[in-house]
Amino acid sequence: EVQLVETGGGLVQPGRSLKLSCVASGFTFNNYWMSWTRQAPGKGLEWVASITNSGGSTYYPDSVKGRFTISRDNAQNTLYLQMNSLRSEDTATYYCTRAHTRSYFDYWGQGVMVTVSS
Partner 1 sequence: DTVLTQSPALAVSPGERVTISCKASESVSTRMHWYQQKPGQQPKLLIYKASNLASGVPARFSGSGSGTDFTLTIDPVEADDTATYFCQQSWNGPLTFGSGTKLEIK
Parallel/antiparallel/unpaired status of strands 10-12 and 112-116? parallel
- 26 part of the interface to partner 1, by CB under 8 A: no
Angle at 96 between CA 40 and CA 14, to 5 degrees: 45
Q: Which is nearer to partner 1, 13 or 62 (CB)?
A: 62
End-to-end CA distance of the chain: 40
Taking residue 81's Cβ as centre, other Cβ atoms within 10 Å add up to 26
**Piece in contact with partner 1 (CB under 8 A), picked from 7-15, 20-28, 74-82, 95-103:** 95-103
Q: How far is the CB of 111 from partner 1 (least distance, A)?
A: 6
The sign of the dihedral angle between the CA atoms of 16, 13, 59, 69 is positive
Q: Which is nearer to partner 1, 17 or 57 (CB)?
A: 57
Q: Which is nearer to partner 1, 44 or 66 (CB)?
A: 44
Residues 35-74 that bind partner 1 (CB under 8 A): 44-47, 50, 61-62
Among 13, 31, 103, 118, binds partner 1 (CB under 8 A): 103
- Cβ pair 50, 42 in contact under 8 A: no
- Residue ranges that bind partner 1, judged by CB under 8 A: 44-47, 50, 61-62, 95, 100, 102-111
